[in-house]
Chain A
Amino acid sequence: MFKGKSVIVTGAGSGVGRSAGLLIARAGGSVLLADVNEQGGQETLAMIVKEGGKAKFMRTDIAVEDDARRMVESAVAAYGRIDGAFNNAAIAQTSVLLHELTAEAWRRNLDINLTGTFFCMKYQIAAMLKTGGGSIVITSSAAGVNGFPLAPEYCSSKHGVIGLMRNAAVDYGGKGIRVNAILPGAIRTPMLMKAMTENPGMEEYLKSIHPLGRYSEPDEVAQSALWLLSDAASFVTGAAIAVDGGYTTH
């Protein structure tokens, strides 16, 4: 599925990013793993290397433009080109109401989830233009197309990346670059586990809003990104695909 292809995965130190990194490497791809969390990133790298996969880790704070640039340069240096990018790194909400949200928390969320994704795409697209195209997938959220309680900054940044995705799909479709988003519901990730610990009752609430009656495993979400990154989706661009157990049917 990814033989001879190289893919950048951000947020690769845990959760969906780790899962995607492992799956892409198993499918024959070379993976540039990026994460601000050095320990998690090295763990994912070790897991891939142990399985005989091809990967490289690069500590990257996507909110820092130079980091995003170096991440892409490093992938191109290592693998000659980038065929795919899974822009998945993000932080969660601070779980307060809008009128209580600090400017600092707002800016931090937008800096990472929206501006950071923009920085990644800026350099990924420039690299892909030189090699004739590629596929970019952004992790948005069910909260990127719907409201979600106690998440003003997260809803906003995740809605924002949908706009970024649609714009890039229009501007670069003619250049062979496909850009899509995935819309996960709740996922068993360290990010969610932490939020659930801080908010009693959240787990039951999350189960109740997914018609399939559970939340998802990281692998289930990573699979949708893999599909969009692969040639199986070569006529798909500008699309946002839900992986949410039916959440958006509510």
Chain B
Amino acid sequence: MNDQISGNSLSGKTALITGGCSGMGLATVRRFLAAGASVVMADIQTEKGRSLEAAMGKSASFVRCDVLREDDIAAAIKHAVDKFGGLDILFNNAGAVGDPGGVEGMSVDGWDRTIALLLRSAMLGIKHAIPAMRSRGGGSIINNASVSGLRPGMASLAYSVAKAGAIQLSRMSAAELAKDNIRVNCVCPGFIVTSIFGDLLAEERTVGDAMLDHLKDPFSGLQPLKRAGLPEDVAEACLYLATASSRFVTGTEIIIDGGLLVDPKLAVDPNSGHGFVDILMGARDAARAQ
């Protein structure tokens, strides 16, 4: 490995990852640790977080963080600074399905809660990360958006609108923070095998976790590339955005969808009740039968 490519190293860097105890967040925690970073996992899954922290060694730290609460977000960033001496990378990743409804029946509570969880949380993460990153001479912020933020028909209304907002949040804050050498980008995953799909069926997290192995086969047929999207795929994109390899990259999105968006034959509509939901229910039933 040469100097330029060892731009892939995160040695000496500290990263904070919200929703860091499962799915894309956890895969990114592992990838960043492997690249030499110190990593704070911020998550509401306290028990799992503590056990991950114990297993991962001294470069990893767990902090309980509910991204619906601004105080929790500010405290998680303070935790990173106190524990590891600063903050260089923030991955605003925590999320859930949110309100599944369409516009006609949407409640104010459902809407507000979804936008707060998926969009306000990312804004607050950026807001509180700025002073810490500025004092390090810059940083890299990554927001986990979604292909549903770019195209209708991929997810529910409130989720999709929040994700579209996350993309624009990235662009706007990239422009605002370029002067501080803080880069802001987002990743737009397509269908990635994570526990969120249990959430989509309103199942407990344990069911969503058990579904993972049963989603890989059916998900391999959802996009031009004939394999399922995995959390590790998103983690690799986050690594690229976090390192010096991408030092001229800001205000943009990286789509990690196996070609889903460019395929006009896209046959799944999570809201249609056909196809995609059948895939999820099949995985749930297989998980329960174990």
Hey, which bits of chain A sit against chain B, CB under 8 A?
1, 23, 26-27, 166, 169-170, 172-174, 176, 178, 183, 185, 211-213, 216-217, 219-221, 223-224, 226-227, 232-239, 241-246, 248-250
Bound CA span A219–B250, Å: 16
Are B171's CB and A235's CB within 8 A? no
Q: Across the interface, do B224 and A235 meet the contact criterion of CB distance under 8 Å?
A: no
Chain B, Cβ-Cβ closest to A211: B178
Residue contact B7 to A244, C-beta cutoff 8 Å? no
Q: Are A174 and B7 in contact (CB under 8 A)?
A: no
Other A-B contacts than A212-B248, A238-B262, A249-B174, 13 sampled, CB-CB below 8 A, are: A1-B5, A26-B2, A26-B4, A169-B259, A170-B259, A212-B181, A223-B4, A227-B240, A235-B229, A235-B230, A241-B252, A246-B251, A249-B171
Please state if A246 and B250 are interface contacts (CB–CB under 8 Å).
Answer: yes
Which of B175, B239, B240 lies in contact with A211, CB distance below 8 A? Answer: B175
- Bound together, the chains give a CA A170 to CA B265 distance in angstroms of 9
Q: Any chain A CB within 8 A of the CB of B95?
A: no
* Contact between chains at A238 and B172 (CB < 8 Å): no
Report yes or no: A211 in contact with B174, Cβ–Cβ below 8 A. Answer: yes
- Least Cβ distance of A215 to chain B in Å? 9
Assembled-state Cα–Cα distance A212/B257 (Å): 28
Q: Within the assembled complex, what's the spacing in Å between the Cα atoms of A174 and B258?
A: 10
Give the B interface residue count (CB, 8 A).
43
Please tell me if B226 contacts chain A, counting CB pairs below 8 Å.
yes
Residue B269 interfacial (CB < 8 Å): no
| Interface flag for B233 (CB, 8 Å) | yes
Does any Cβ of A come within 8 Å of B46's Cβ? no
List the 10 closest A-B pairs by CB distance, nearest first: A173-B224, A238-B262, A211-B178, A249-B251, A242-B252, A235-B233, A232-B236, A246-B251, A26-B2, A237-B259
> From A216, which residue of chain B is reached at the shortest CB distance?
B248
**Is B264 interfacial (CB-CB < 8 Å)?**
yes
Give the docked Cα–Cα distance between A1 and B7 (Å).
13
Residues of A within 8 A of B248 (CB): 185, 212, 216-217, 220-221, 243-245
A107 to B249, CA, bound (A): 32
Contact across chains for B178 and A213 when beta carbons are under 8 A apart: yes
A-B pairs with beta carbons under 8 Å apart, 28 shown? A1-B1, A1-B5, A23-B2, A23-B4, A166-B262, A173-B259, A173-B263, A185-B248, A211-B178, A211-B251, A212-B178, A216-B248, A217-B248, A232-B239, A233-B240, A234-B233, A235-B256, A236-B254, A237-B225, A238-B260, A238-B262, A239-B254, A239-B257, A241-B254, A245-B178, A246-B251, A249-B252, A250-B175
